[in-house]
Structure 1
Amino acid sequence: MANFVLVAGARLGAWAWDEVVPDLRAAGHGAHPLTLSGLADKRGVPAGQQTHVRDIVDEVEGRDLRDVVLVGHSYSGIPVGQAAERIGDRLAHVVFVDSSVPADGEAFVAAWPDGGTAVKASIAENGGFWPLASAAHYDGHGLTDEQIARILAGSTPHPGATLTEPAVLARPLDELPATYVRCLLTGDELGHDVAELLTGGHWRLAEMDTGHWPMFSRPRELAQILLRAAGE
């Protein structure tokens, strides 16, 4: 039995996995959706990037989970990638769902074309938080109007420090057993960092013909990819 620890991207909480969890549990696995500090039901809890790494490690160690499949979507690939190397032999696999990947000493915003200048300005103008996105932000990603409304209703402003603080890695990321899920409607080519990681022999690529939020647009298909990553 695998134990999936599911971490959604910026502005989202554990609730984002509600349509993925049933298929994982029906297959006999543990599924542990996690809300990071400062978001959703943990809104108001101070958080930097290392807080989010600790949230994930604490979930694994506090529940004494083994055969762990860590799943990070979008922003959350950054703390998930760091947590993966800190849980030792509890880790079975990591799945990065259309996500950023951490680089030692680099922040989430470092890979943005402007080096994160616009995001940092937005955070400064909004009391230290990355504000909510508009409905138009979700257009073109295979989402229904109802799904977009659900995302908007459940989203909370994202703690800004988690986006601007640097990642801390003790060993090369390509040593992790990992799957990268590319969502094709995003339209972007694989980043150079991900493409290079996929050449190392430990990483696999899976592709989905949907947009950046597959836990809403294609939850059952995403669940099957996660199950395959766990060895089914």
Structure 2
Amino acid sequence: MTNNVSSPTILLIAGHWLGAWAWDEVLEHLTAAGHQAVPMTLPGLDERDPERASRTLDDQARAIEQTMTEAGASEDRPVVVVAHSGANAPVSLVLDRHPELVRRVVWVDSGPVAPGSAFAPDAPEDLVESPLPPFDALGQQASLEGLSTEALERFRARAVPEPGPVLRQQVKLTNDARRAVPTTLVCCSIPSAQIVELADAGHPMFAEVSTLERVDLVDLPTGHWPMWSRPGDLAQVLAAAATTPVN
């Protein structure tokens, strides 16, 4: 791992139902500040893909790897990977396979997944896809704090159903080197102090955090979608994380 890249490429990956478009406002701030950022749409979340409902976590991980390659990622020029929410599963796979290509991973209201876990292990095999639920139901699962009516309308209009295979697939991790990748947790809907307590207590959602060798925690109080509720502030946090020395 090297720290001689003062402003590495930042790869932006949003969570369930979202594509590259989710980062538009954050990307505007990062670009204005002189940072090279690349938002991507994971396989299964491109509404133009006729096979999207059959895409898997492995497909998503390979797409991330390809985007990293296109961005020039190497051991000498590793990239920064930003994973929001449910993007944590494919990004965890990429960290397991290519830790040397990642300068820093930034989890946005999210965190690394534990080996053998699946987002919805009890989802039936005949579940083809999972659409964005009504906002009253979604708000019981994740905080909608800070989202304007316009943001919610855009979310509803542009959301793409999550493929069933992505929800059911177990994440198989074998390379402990992934835990040595410098890590930033951007804590939005859950304060950092509470996340530390949950990690120390072995909570399944945060247990993997306690295994990380180098982790910084940043509080950005808002809901689960800070790219819309606090885009400028999130861009500043990402820029700072991306340029923080890793040695």
TM-score, shorter chain, exceeding 0.5: yes
Number of the residue aligned with 1:19 = 25
Q: Give the Cα–Cα distance (whole angstroms) in 1 for the partners of residues 211 and 146 of structure 2.
A: 29
- TM normalised by structure 2 equals 0.80
Query: Which residue identity lines up with residue 208 of structure 1 in the other structure?
Result: L
CA contact (8 A) 1:174 1:203 kept: no
What is the RMSD of the two structures over their aligned residues, measured on CA atoms? 2.5
Letter in 2 for 1:206: V
TM-score (ref. length: structure 1): 0.85
Amino acid at match of 1:223: A
Match for residue 216 of structure 2 among 189, 201, 204: 204
Tell me which of 147, 152, 157 is aligned to 1:153: 157
Offset at residue 63 of structure 1 (A): 3.3
CA drift of 1:199 comes to: 6.8
User: For residue 172 of structure 2, what is the aligned residue in structure 1?
Assistant: 168
Partner amino acid, structure 1, of 2:82: V
Letter in 2 for 1:129: E
Q: Is contact 1:57–1:86 with CA below 8 Å preserved after alignment? A: no
Query: Residue 77 of structure 1: which of 81, 88, 91 is its match?
Result: 88
Amino acid at match of 1:53: A
CA distance in 1, matches of 2:67, 2:29: 21
- Map of 2:72 onto structure 1: 64
Equivalent of residue 182 in structure 1, options 184, 187, 192: 187
Q: 1:96 aligns with which of 70, 93, 107?
A: 107
Q: Which runs of 5+ in 1 are unaligned?
A: 110-115
The 1:200/1:71 distance shift into structure 2, 3 A limit, reads closer
User: Residues 105 and 20 (structure 1 numbering): CA distance in 2 closer, same or farther, change over 3 Å?
Assistant: same
Query: 1:56 is aligned with what amino acid?
Result: I
2:25 aligns to what SS in structure 1? coil
* Aligned positions of 1:50-61 closer than 5 A: 50-61=58-69
1:2-21 Cα offsets, whole Å, 9 max, x none, are: 11111100010000000011
2:88 is paired with a residue of what secondary structure?
helix
How many pairs are equivalent? 221
| Cα deviation code 1:174-208 (max 9, x no counterpart) | 3221111111369x943435366257440111111
The amino acid of 1:19's aligned partner reads: E
